[in-house]
Amino acid sequence: MLDPWPRALSLAERGLAHHCPSDTEIARQVARWCCQFPFIAPTLAEAAEFAHGVTLEVLAAVALEPADAVGARATPPDWVATVNRAYAERNQASSPPREGETARWMLVPVYPLLEDAAVTFATRVRGIGRAEALPELDVLVPLLRQGLESVAVPLVARVIALEVNVSRERGELRGADPRERFIEFCDSLRSPGRALNFLTEYPVLVRLVAVAFQQTTEFFLEVLQHLGSDRDLLGEVAGVPELGSLVDVS
């Protein structure tokens, strides 16, 4: 279970705080923001006041509410159920990437989410109108996987790099060179249980990946829906009696 999901909620999702921090706590939080972001603090304050009269002090009160308190009153977003299902249903270690697929190692901790998206995609493709006009699933699913991987790599790369370095400095990795240490670290996350424990330290990252996978899957399905319904028309417009095979979706 992804217990720290309340830490990944936006301020809008958290809503107005139900807990009332002291004036001193609020003033300290506002001062911290102004020190950390001296150039955007005035802009943030102006934007907040323009949006329904919310002040920096109100935002500070929301931010200071403990995550446990938020979780007790807020409804988990849909992505939380997706994450919990993906890691609960895929309780076997994923297969390691093939030789030469070094970049894919950094996706190991999110493979359960990727597999869940692929299964959901395959199920929903069968329900698309005129599915017979579409390529076979053994063509479509790899295309989706490529799209999901291209979305995920930029999201997880920095976190993986950071955690590999932390493990190296702790002496937890025995690899002889950076590549071996990188693979050794990622290999330790092939167990979905260990991967989820790792990701609980980064709930916002989990949210970004889960939502990105959902949006990418929906985009592919929409493209295929149009392709299925408009295939004959596309052939007529292109002057091609029989369209070739789908090779990419972008």
Assigned domain for 66 exists? yes
Q: Report yes or no: 110 and 205 within 8 Å, Cβ to Cβ.
A: no
Whole-prediction pTM: 0.78
Q: Note whether 44 and 151 are same-domain residues.
A: no
4-16, pLDDT tens digit by residue? 788 888 777 776 6
Give the pLDDT score at 40: 57
Assigned domain for 169 exists? yes
Q: Note whether 54 and 87 are same-domain residues.
A: no
Q: Note whether 141 and 167 are same-domain residues.
A: yes
Q: Note whether 117 and 228 are same-domain residues.
A: yes
Give the pLDDT score at 47: 56
Q: Report yes or no: 116 and 198 within 8 Å, Cβ to Cβ.
A: no
| Higher-confidence position of 203 and 93 | 203
- The one-letter amino acid code at 23 reads D
Q: Report yes or no: 213 and 147 within 8 Å, Cβ to Cβ.
A: no
Q: Note whether 110 and 198 are same-domain residues.
A: yes
Instruction: Tell me which residue has tokens 């807990």.
Output: 19
Q: Note whether 28 and 99 are same-domain residues.
A: no
DSSP labels for 171-227? T----SSHHHHHHHHHHTT-SHHHHHHHHTT-HHHHHHHHHHHHHHHHHHHHHHHHH
How big is the chain, counted in residues? 250
Give the pLDDT score at 119: 93
Average pLDDT over residues 43-70: 67
Assigned domain for 243 exists? no
Print the domain residue range for 70.
5-75
CA distance 3 to 217: 25
Ranking 108-122, 136-150, 214-228, 235-249 by mean pLDDT, the lowest is 235-249
Number of domains in the chain: 2
Q: Note whether 104 and 201 are same-domain residues.
A: yes
Assigned domain for 24 exists? yes
Assigned domain for 245 exists? no
Q: Note whether 54 and 176 are same-domain residues.
A: no
Greatest alpha-carbon pair distance for the chain in Å reads 74
Ranking 110-119, 149-158, 218-227, 228-237 by mean pLDDT, the lowest is 228-237
For 233, residues 6+ apart whose C-beta sits below 8 A from its C-beta are none
Structure tokens at 41: 């603090």
Number of neighbouring beta carbons within 10 Å of residue 240: 10
| Mean model confidence pLDDT for the chain | 80
User: pLDDT confidence of 206, banded at 50, 70, 90?
Assistant: very high
Q: Note whether 189 and 70 are same-domain residues.
A: no
Is the pLDDT assigned to residue 231 strictly greater than 90?
Answer: no
Which range has highest mean pLDDT (8-12, 53-57, 187-191)? 187-191
Q: Note whether 26 and 99 are same-domain residues.
A: no
- The one-letter amino acid code at 243 reads L
> Where a domain ends, among 25, 54, 75?
75
Assigned domain for 34 exists? yes
